[in-house]
Amino acid sequence: MSQTPELVVKDLRVAVEGKEILKGLSLEIRKGEIHAMMGPNGSGKSTFANTLMGHPRYEVTGGDILFKGESILEMEADERSRKGLFMAFQYPVAIPGVSVANFLRTALNARLAPDNANGNGSMPRNRGISPKEFRALLKDKMGLLQVDESFAGRYLNEGFSGGEKKRAEILQMAVLKPEIAIMDETDSGLDIDALKIVSGGINALAGPDLGVLVITHYQRILNYIKPHHVHVLVDGRIVRSGGPELAHELESKGYELVRGDSTKEVAAP
């Protein structure tokens, strides 16, 4: 694990349409670490994920987000991606007519684009990974994640099951090789078999070059992905942090265990 945290969130306050959702959230994530953020519905989990990636609907009213020592609050989503942030969506959208392979190659070229490429994140025409190189890379990553090669020719998320949509997100993460990955309720809508497959993919990619934030409502995904740190978010604040045992305690006792802590914030490791 790296000594200096790649992602540092300082006293973050976020509002949506004038309503404050995050009320002073602080968190640090290093490469090599797996963090889990749990909380009841409406606690601000998805707001936090979308704010990290720069969704324009979420207004940062206080605090800061530092990535590799630099504030990213003024960066667009594509700039944050090129810096090394990634988010797997809770509800991935279908893109008819665009194959998984074409989408991933376009995304990778945009990820590799220099910051001054042309201002919109696309790759200059004389740059980018060649089709031959990309095919080899995609085959390697699909093998690592045990994804059938026919998957690459299907239109992105069109007619996909819930599990296939989430596997496409994990495959995208494998191809883009981020430094910090945010998994926004990746377990949502998955049956137990799909959950095991998706969790296996995340575990295959986890390692010293990747920090992961798993955002979830339930403990069950943490039966397959073992976090180093667990944080509980209630009413826009992290009210308790601990090790993996905290998730099991929440599973057995529910969020009533920590609701009394919502008036105070705990410093997250």
Q: pLDDT by residue (tens digit) across 30-53? A: 999 999 999 988 999 999 999 999
Provide the Cα torsion 7, 59, 177, 269; round to 10°. Answer: 20
CATH pick for 7-92+161-259 out of 3.40.50.300, 3.30.499.10, 3.40.390.30, 3.40.190.10: 3.40.50.300
Amino acid identity, residue 227? P
Question: For position 258, what pLDDT does the model report?
Answer: 79
pLDDT digits (tens, 9 = 90+) for 125-176: 546 789 999 999 999 999 999 899 999 999 999 999 988 999 999 999 999 9
Considering the chain, what percentage of its residues have pLDDT values greater than 70?
90
Please state, as a whole number, how many other Cβ atoms lie within 10 Å of the Cβ of residue 140.
12
Considering the chain, what percentage of its residues have pLDDT values greater than 90?
71
- Name the token pair of 240: 């308790």
Average pLDDT, the chain: 89
CA gap 91, 188 in Å, rounded: 9
Whether 239 contacts 233, CB under 8 Å: yes
Q: How confident is the model at residue 104 (pLDDT cuts 50, 70, 90)?
A: very high
Question: For position 123, what pLDDT does the model report?
Answer: 47
Question: For position 268, what pLDDT does the model report?
Answer: 52
Q: Give the global pTM.
A: 0.89
Angle subtended at Cα 242 by Cα 88 and Cα 220, rounded to the nearest 5 degrees: 50
The distance between the two most distant Cα atoms of the chain, rounded to a whole number of Å, is: 58
> Reduced to 3 states, what is the DSSP secondary structure of residue 27?
strand
pLDDT digits (tens, 9 = 90+) for 218-262: 888 999 999 999 999 999 999 999 999 999 898 888 888 776 665
